[in-house]
């Protein structure tokens, strides 16, 4: 189903937010968009919101199974703005967000749906799940100019580390049990990446509640 924009979805597509988990996929470019959608459909998300430029073309079978929302994902603060709007519209719902060419993996995901995992988390009174964005890349750039290969994906097996998260309100002393995680391509090429974008940790799965806000650095209020 297609909508005119995010506001149109929030007015006319509220039925998509009746029951979770709901996935939000932000399309930054046109790399592996179809496989990203199919992967999360297989994972068992009840609804998938695809926020993407109008130029994106998808097969008809995918279009029928998603909520297509035209959106400028390249604008400053675009992700946080959209996620926060959905949070306000869906209190109590389990939500998930990612970008195209990102694939959610979790224990027993080959045989268990994401809803089963979140049911366990709900029983344990947990409202969020920490995830990590691990860079995958092709081993042969000549064969794969965009460096993406799902059939022959490689990852860095070392170079990952964590640092305590400083608290500016407390003389930058470490926050209790809060860490920033680094590694992968963002670590190897960190001189080309702004400091605020070097972290690989993200609370990608969380339960919406009134007043909860996602910040531009992928941390929550």
* Segment 202-213, tens digit of pLDDT: 999 999 999 999
Q: Give the count of beta carbons closer than 10 Å to the beta carbon of residue 195.
A: 8
Is pLDDT above 90 for 75? Answer: yes
For residue 147, what pLDDT is reported? 87
Question: Do 139 and 128 contact (CB within 8 A), yes or no?
Answer: no
Question: Do 166 and 145 contact (CB within 8 A), yes or no?
Answer: no
Question: Which position has the higher pLDDT, 146 or 81?
Answer: 81
Is pLDDT above 90 for 124? Answer: no
**How sure is the predictor about 48, in pLDDT bands with cuts at 50, 70 and 90?**
very high
The ranges assigned to domains in the chain are: 1-131+202-221, 134-199
The pTM score is 0.91
H or E segment and range at residue 200:
none
Long-range contacts, stretch 106-112, CB < 8 angstroms, 24+ apart:
109/43
Q: What are phi and psi of 60, to 5 degrees?
A: -60, -35
Chain CA centroid to CA 55, Å? 21
For residue 219, what pLDDT is reported? 85
45-49, 179-183, 208-212: least confident range: 179-183
Q: Give the count of beta carbons closer than 10 Å to the beta carbon of residue 130.
A: 12
Mean pLDDT along residues 169-194: 87
Is pLDDT above 90 for 165? Answer: no
Within 8 A by CB and 6+ apart from 163, the residues are 179, 180, 182
Dihedral angle computed from the Cα positions of residues 25, 106, 21 and 70, in that order, rounded to the nearest 10 degrees: 0
Mean pLDDT along residues 161-184: 87
For residue 101, what pLDDT is reported? 93
The highest-confidence range among 28-37, 121-130, 192-201, by mean pLDDT, is: 28-37
3-12, 76-85, 94-103, 172-181: least confident range: 172-181
Mean pLDDT along residues 157-175: 87
H or E segment and range at residue 88:
helix 78-89
| Nearest in space to 94 (alpha carbons), one of 63, 117, 78, 110 | 117
Q: How far from 1 is each of 64, 66, 70, 150, 191, CA to CA, in Å?
A: 6, 6, 11, 28, 42
């Amino acid at each position: 189903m297609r909508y005119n924009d995010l506001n149109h979805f929030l007015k006319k597509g509220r039925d998509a937010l009746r029951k979770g988990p709901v996935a939000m996929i932000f399309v930054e470019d046109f790399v592996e968009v179809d496989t990203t959608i199919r992967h999360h459909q297989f994972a068992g998300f009840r609804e998938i919101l695809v926020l993407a430029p109008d130029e994106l073309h998808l097969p008809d079978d995918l279009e029928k199974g998603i909520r297509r929302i035209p959106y400028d994902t390249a604008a400053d603060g675009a992700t946080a703005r959209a996620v926060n709007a959905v949070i306000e519209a869906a209190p109590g719902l389990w939500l998930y967000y990612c970008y195209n060419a990102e694939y959610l993996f979790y224990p027993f995901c080959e045989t268990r749906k994401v809803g089963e995992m979140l049911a366990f988390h709900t029983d344990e009174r947990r409202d969020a799940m920490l995830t990590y964005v691990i860079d995958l890349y092709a081993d042969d750039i000549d064969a794969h100019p965009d460096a993406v290969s799902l059939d022959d994906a490689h990852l860095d097996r070392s170079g990952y580390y964590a640092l305590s998260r400083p608290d500016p309100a407390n003389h930058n002393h470490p926050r209790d049990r809060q860490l920033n995680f680094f590694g992968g391509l963002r670590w190897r090429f960190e001189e080309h990446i702004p400091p605020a974008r070097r972290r690989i940790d993200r609370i990608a799965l969380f339960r919406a509640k009134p007043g909860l806000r996602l910040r531009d650095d992928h941390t929550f209020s």
